[in-house]
Amino acid sequence: MKPRIRFFVALGVVFLAFIVWLFSGGKDSGETQEVSSLGTFEVTAKLVELPGRLPDPSQFDYTYVLKYEVQEVHRGDITAKNIYVGHYDPSKSRHQATDEKIKGIGGNLLKFISGHTHRMALDLPLEKFSAGIPLINEYGEKTIGPIYWAIWTNKVD
């Protein structure tokens, strides 16, 4: 095949890939094998707020409770509009959060930012997974329903 023809074939392939991406909305749903298979629950939810300043993880390890507005339930039975989720050491990116104390958590989320949407694999009860790790729940008695344990957290674009 002549170089000029190869160039136009390659250009056509790139153009076709761009059209497919454009019509798919160019969005990443956050779906991965891990988020779709780990835990008992899988949701896409918007982070409502960061209720306070995250503690310095070099001081101690902790689980921090965040409030989410559920947009879609993919697995499990969650009927609440808002849920509370405990994240282990949320000041760390999710792929760096697992350590010798807590294993098996991860995701592609680099930083928790209010208003961003996450696709998460969750489980209950929180105490089973975070035993011995301090829990920081700035919502206190305002927490309605269970606090889910975040196993895998991916950003949704």
Cβ atoms of 136 and 64 within 8 Å: the answer is yes
pTM: 0.81
Using one digit for the tens of pLDDT, what is the confidence trace for 53-93? 888 777 888 999 999 999 999 999 999 999 999 999 999 99
Architecture category of domain 33-156 in CATH: Beta Barrel (2.40)
Residue 106, strand partner residues: 152
